[in-house]
Amino acid sequence: GAAAGAVAVAGAGGAWAGRATAPATGAASSGTAGALALHGDLRVPFHGPRQAGVETPPQAYLTLVALNLAPGTDRDALVRLMRIWTDDVVRLTEGRPGLTDTEPELAEVPARLTVTVGYGPAVFTAAGLDDRRPAWLGPLPAFAVDRLEDRWNDGDLVLQVCADDEVTVSHAVRMLLREARDFASVRWLQKGFRRSVGSEPAGRTMRNLMGQIDGTRNLDPVADAPLVWSDGTDGWLAGGTSMVVRRIRMELDTWDEVDRSTREAVMGRRLADGAPLTGEKEHDEPDLEAVGPHGLTVIGPAAHVRRARTSDPAERFLRRAYSYDDAPDVATDPGALSSSGLVFVTFQADVDRQFVPVQRRLDEVDLLNEWTTPIGSAVFAVPPGCAEGEFLGQALLG
């Protein structure tokens, strides 16, 4: 409607699909000339063949919570939990409180809230459905660059909660966790952020905390849908996908010592505009063959963008990363200034076919490895979406 059109939706440009809508009642229909539509009123539809929060233009805030199943949570219990969560998420994304909401006023601002549910391997075991577990669902192979800390690894269930308002995220997360109390408990929780809505023109590619434009060459969730969504080779997973979560620390103290031209050489792209070192504009194709005055390739053999690329078009995935910036760990690292990095979230139809080969290549050679350290790793199966009256995960558990 007109109200939705009047609001610039951060990240809605570029390749990202989907469009948030404002409610039918509101500034647009009240006839108030010139009334400013509130961004907080924008809603992302929940019902549909695919879960929201994957092709949704990334909202400003992320909370990702992994849970451990409580002993005794069987298939029936999982169905009960999924029914409760589905009902909560339908309500919250529409700006209505959940059935047991103790702070109903906090539900009034959906701000493009999406909740995406994923399953770890234990869900299949608990439900007695190990035969329906996708072959790629389990810990990633070990990589030499990994310094994984168990407190950021794995999980039986995951909730990816995103919105353009952090109060909205916080309220939704607490409600969903409270409802799950009899079934599961928190294993880890990771928060992330991007630029606030309104700080930049909509559709800009995000900058990470190393200052790089990050996300330029990504999948187009519409044109590349077969790479993002499962086609049903895995049966019940048709319309679902997989979520890989890598928590990657940035070594910003040593990165500080690197001059600007070296920083650009590490990536193969310019800091100012994200253009490849062989091009003019952000979205120009890098020329990996181009040679400079000294006979060396302009984009070096170990530059991140060269190593992350592939001639195999199937080795691609949707990156939907957020920055994190925790309190520095001054207890063990006196004088530390920060503890920052990326909550690196990717979606792909098949983890082994698409994600693993790229991560393996980067593990072998990538200049960026000097300043980045994976400290957490998890893989989840993201069930398809659901129609009105259905519950999330029905295709598997129902």
Active site residues: 214
Q: Specify which residues 374 forms β-bridges with.
A: 248
DSSP E strand stretches across 223-338:
241-250, 318-319, 322-326
Residues 223-262 that bind ligand HEM (CB under 6 A): 246, 248, 250
Q: Which residue has the tokens 């990050």?
A: 214
Q: Which residue has the tokens 């120009």?
A: 284
Cβ closest to ligand HEM, residue 92 vs residue 248? 248
User: Considering only residues 237, 304, 347, 377, which one is a binding residue for ligand HEM as defined by CB under 6 A?
Assistant: 304
Closest Cα partner for 259 from 271, 273, 276, 277?
A: 271
Cβ of residue 336: shortest distance to ligand HEM, in angstroms?
18
267 binding ligand HEM? (CB under 6 A): yes
28 binding ligand HEM? (CB under 6 A): no
Question: What's at 292, amino acid-wise?
Answer: G
DSSP states of 100-133 as a string? T-SSGGGGG--TT-EEEEEE-HHHHHHTT-GGGS
Contacts of 307 (CB under 8 A, 6+ apart): 361, 362, 365, 366
* Contact (CB, 8 A) for 54 and 241: yes
User: Considering only residues 52, 309, 345, 382, which one is a binding residue for ligand HEM as defined by CB under 6 A?
Assistant: 309
Cβ closest to ligand HEM, residue 98 vs residue 374? 374
* Contact (CB, 8 A) for 352 and 136: yes
The count of chain residues that interact with ligand HEM, using the rule CB under 6 A, is: 24
Cβ of residue 370: shortest distance to ligand HEM, in angstroms?
11
Contacts of 92 (CB under 8 A, 6+ apart): 98, 107, 110, 113, 115, 171, 172, 175
348 binding ligand HEM? (CB under 6 A): no
Rounded CA-CA distance 85/82 in Å is: 5
- Spell out, one character per residue from 353 to 392, where the chain touches ligand HEM: x when CB under 6 A holds, - when not: -----xx--x---------x--------------------
210 binding ligand HEM? (CB under 6 A): yes
User: Considering only residues 133, 269, 270, 320, which one is a binding residue for ligand HEM as defined by CB under 6 A?
Assistant: 269
Cβ of residue 33: shortest distance to ligand HEM, in angstroms?
42
Cβ closest to ligand HEM, residue 191 vs residue 269? 269
Residue 319 exposure: Cα atoms within 13 Å on the Cβ side: 21
Part in contact with ligand HEM (CB under 6 A); list of ranges 38-46, 49-57, 180-188, 213-221: 213-221
Paired sense of beta strands 322-326 and 241-250, if any: unpaired
User: Considering only residues 92, 137, 148, 342, which one is a binding residue for ligand HEM as defined by CB under 6 A?
Assistant: 342
Task: Give the N- to C-terminal CA distance of the chain in Å, as an integer.
Answer: 36
298 binding ligand HEM? (CB under 6 A): no
Cβ closest to ligand HEM, residue 268 vs residue 384? 268
* Contact (CB, 8 A) for 208 and 340: no
Cβ of residue 384: shortest distance to ligand HEM, in angstroms?
25
Cβ of residue 165: shortest distance to ligand HEM, in angstroms?
26
Tokens of 307: 């190593």
Cβ of residue 220: shortest distance to ligand HEM, in angstroms?
13
Site residues (CB under 6 A) for ligand HEM?
A: 208, 210, 212-217, 246, 248, 250, 267, 269, 304-305, 308-309, 341-342, 344, 358-359, 362, 372
